[in-house]
Amino acid sequence: MPLITGDAIVTDTFTAVVDDAPLPESGGALVSLQRFQKDRDTLLARNAPIGVLLKSSENPEVLGEDLHRLSVVALDFPTFRDGRAFSWARILRTRLGYTGQVRAVGKFIYDQMNYQRRVGFDAWDVPEGFTLEQFHRACGEMTDVYQPSADGKKTIFQLRNERR
């Protein structure tokens, strides 16, 4: 799948590795939480970036002090109706102070991308054919917001109060 980070579609330098598969010889590896917990010492000792893919039911706080040793935390959207990853991204950025890449993977939809960006996502696994123009349009359609978020953008309520 193409990966959008920043303002570009880029080559993903991480290989998603299923639980019992060997790790790639070089480059980053993206593993499940279970694999990370099982092989923690080996994964952290590698001379390569490591990332963890969290299911929507897995709280990133379980990563503890290891969180800041990870290059990527990928948050899964099993369906577009499951919004727990929005909360996890915001917790990663605000409460846990995570500065690495927060990646959206799974079955999210175009209409969710703007809010994903606001809560702290900075990378998206998008389907083949999804363009950068579509991404920019998705992230720019809502100019005023009702909900406070990790991006610090003023809400409509705050803007109204400032005008009084």
Domains of the chain: 3-163 (3.20.20.70)
Q: Give one word for 97, left, alpha or beta, with left for phi > 0 and alpha for psi -120 to 50.
A: left
Question: Can you tell me the distance from the alpha carbon of 28 to that of 129, in angstroms, rounded to the nearest whole number?
Answer: 25
What confidence score (pLDDT) does residue 145 get? 66
Q: How many CA atoms lie within 13 A of 65 on its CB side?
A: 0
Residue at token pair 């009084």 = 164
Question: Can you tell me the distance from the alpha carbon of 47 to that of 32, in angstroms, rounded to the nearest whole number?
Answer: 19
What are the backbone dihedrals phi and psi of residue 156, each rounded to the nearest 5 degrees, phi first? Answer: -60, -40
In order along its 164 residues, the chain shows pLDDT tens digits of 789 998 899 999 999 999 989 999 888 999 999 999 999 999 999 989 999 999 999 999 999 999 999 999 999 999 989 999 999 999 999 999 999 999 999 999 888 999 999 899 999 999 999 999 999 998 887 776 667 677 777 776 777 788 87
Give the long-range contacts of residues 41-46, CB within 8 A, separation 24 or more: 44/69
What confidence score (pLDDT) does residue 161 get? 82
What confidence score (pLDDT) does residue 80 get? 87
